[in-house]
A = this chain, B = another copy of it.
Amino acid sequence: MIKVTIWNEFVHEKQEGPAGDRIRAIYPNGIHALLKEKLAADDLEIRIASLDEPEQGLPDSLLNDTDVLLWWGHCAHAKVENELVDRIQARVQAGMGLIVLHSGHFSKIFKRMMGTSCSLHWREVGEKERLWVVAPNHPIAQGVPETFTLPHSEMYGERFEIPDDGKIIFLSWFEGGNVFRSGVTFFRDNGKIFYFSPGHETYPIYHDENVLKVIGNAIRWAAPIQIIPPRKTHLPDADETVYSKDPNKDIDTSNLHK
């Protein structure tokens, strides 16, 4: 049983006015609630969390019981507390999988895990997006056709500022002339990360069967083999005999490490 937590800032879905109405028509109870419903499976125990909850939805009791965390954020990135980002990062380093969706490319946690600016080009004119599978034998691509389209999507285009160890699972083509590394994996310490760009809130992208297939596969792929707590000591005795004589052994250098 994989313990999955879907975190959503849950702001757009509560917004007033016609844009909010449009979004609510697609995601009545929020993106996280729809994903929970659509991803339901016997091997997954799915919980949802959002920014407006205590401890911004991720108290240690939940975070440290999570195998794979999904993250959707957009307009409220700045409101996520650095202390929470620290805790999520530590959990990923221990082995938790992290799946960052769409505008989460600019979330604090994704930028923290990458070290890069994570910037990109974007445009919102409802253009068509076509995805291509670049790694057909990767677990995340199983059951996904070689190419599929989203009739209306927000454009995310290169240059996407991510590190070179991003293994490309999907590349996207956009009607307006752009291309994008739309599905990319990373390893950080003991944790696996998958970034997947489709998912704009004003289009019904998380109703798409292929998109759901990808996210479901990614959850199973990102689930940890084991959670490895930070090593207690990093100061081991020598395993092999040291014959060299330490020129400093007559002085106490232990205070240098304080």
Which A residues are within 8 Å of any B CB, using their own CB? 12, 15, 17-19, 22, 74-75, 89, 93, 95, 112-117, 119-128, 130, 132-137, 139, 142, 146-147, 149, 151-152, 155, 157-161, 163-165, 167, 171-179, 186-191, 201-203, 224-226, 228, 230-231, 234-249, 251-253, 255-258
Q: List 5 A-B contacts (CB under 8 A).
A: A19-B253, A123-B236, A152-B246, A163-B186, A164-B187
Q: A74-B256, A126-B248 are in contact. Are A173 and B163 (CB under 8 A)?
A: no
Tell me how many chains of this kind the complex includes.
Answer: 4
Bound Cα distance from A201 to B135, whole angstroms:
30
Bound Cα distance from A238 to B121, whole angstroms:
11
Asked if A234 contacts B167 (CB within 8 A), the reply is no
Bound Cα distance from A252 to B20, whole angstroms:
10
Asked if A239 contacts B130 (CB within 8 A), the reply is yes
Bound Cα distance from A174 to B142, whole angstroms:
26
Asked if A256 contacts B75 (CB within 8 A), the reply is yes
Q: Least Cβ distance of A91 to chain B in Å?
A: 12
A135: chain B residues at CB < 8 Å are: 159
Asked if B125 contacts A246 (CB within 8 A), the reply is yes
Q: Least Cβ distance of A237 to chain B in Å?
A: 7
Asked if B179 contacts A244 (CB within 8 A), the reply is no
Bound Cα distance from A22 to B121, whole angstroms:
39
Q: A188-B116, A239-B176 are in contact. Are A121 and B234 (CB under 8 A)?
A: yes
Q: A114-B115, A121-B234, A186-B163 are in contact. Are A126 and B244 (CB under 8 A)?
A: yes
Asked if B257 contacts A75 (CB within 8 A), the reply is yes
* Listed residue (A155, A251, A258) with the most chain B CB atoms within 10 angstroms of its CB: A251
